[in-house]
Amino acid sequence: MKKTHSTLHSDQRELIHMLHKFQKENGYISPESISEISRQLKISKSEIFGVLTFYKAFTLEPRGKHVITICMGTACHVRGAPVILDEFKRGLGLEPGETTEDKLFTLETVNCVGACALGPIVISDGTYHGQMKTRDVKGIIEALKKEKKNNLE
């Protein structure tokens, strides 16, 4: 039977719902997740990849326990985001898009998170840090490392 426009729409909603679920469970969309979704929803893997590349919220790479995001949008850039990024790169030994071997940290960049007046902005695990200075970088990394230790105690 040919699918109607509204059926396709609800399929896509179901697909996005499942992608969110798998990403929440595993921290990323694994090849196994894609096969599972394809089987359950009876849609092709290429259709799933199409949605994955369209929605930037999904990632195909395993991410660290802590995600640090540096805003590199214009407003943050002119207020010093590049030096903040350099400091995080040095502190974590990562380039943007990379994850530490112990899977503790992922470093990312974005273009504007809508808080330009407070730039430069850094987001660590969803917490916004405004008017970042290079001297604040070490404290953010150390606080997240300590969080790991406390969780293990």
**Would you tell me which residues interact with ligand FES (CB under 6 A)?**
71, 73-76, 112-116, 119, 121
Cβ-based burial of 85 (10 A; exposed 0-12, middle 13-18, buried ≥19): buried
Query: Do the Cβ atoms of 125 and 67 come closer than 8 Å?
Result: yes
Nearest distance from C-beta of residue 131 to ligand FES, angstroms: 11
Whichever of 60 and 112 has its CB closer to ligand FES, that residue is 112
CB-nearest residue to ligand FES? 73
Please report how close the Cβ of residue 109 comes to ligand FES at its closest, in angstroms: 10
By beta-carbon proximity to ligand FES, the closer residue of 15 and 71 is 71
Residue 30 or 124: the one with the smaller Cβ distance to ligand FES is 124
Q: How far is it, in rounded angstroms, from Cα 94 to Cα 99?
A: 7
Q: What minimum distance in Å lies between the beta carbon of 138 and ligand FES? A: 22
User: Between β-strands 105-110 and 122-124, what pairing exists: parallel, antiparallel or unpaired?
Assistant: unpaired
Position of tokens 């990323």? 28
Cβ proximity to ligand FES, 10 vs 74, nearer residue: 74
- My answer on whether omega of the bond before 82 falls inside 30° of 0, hence cis, is no
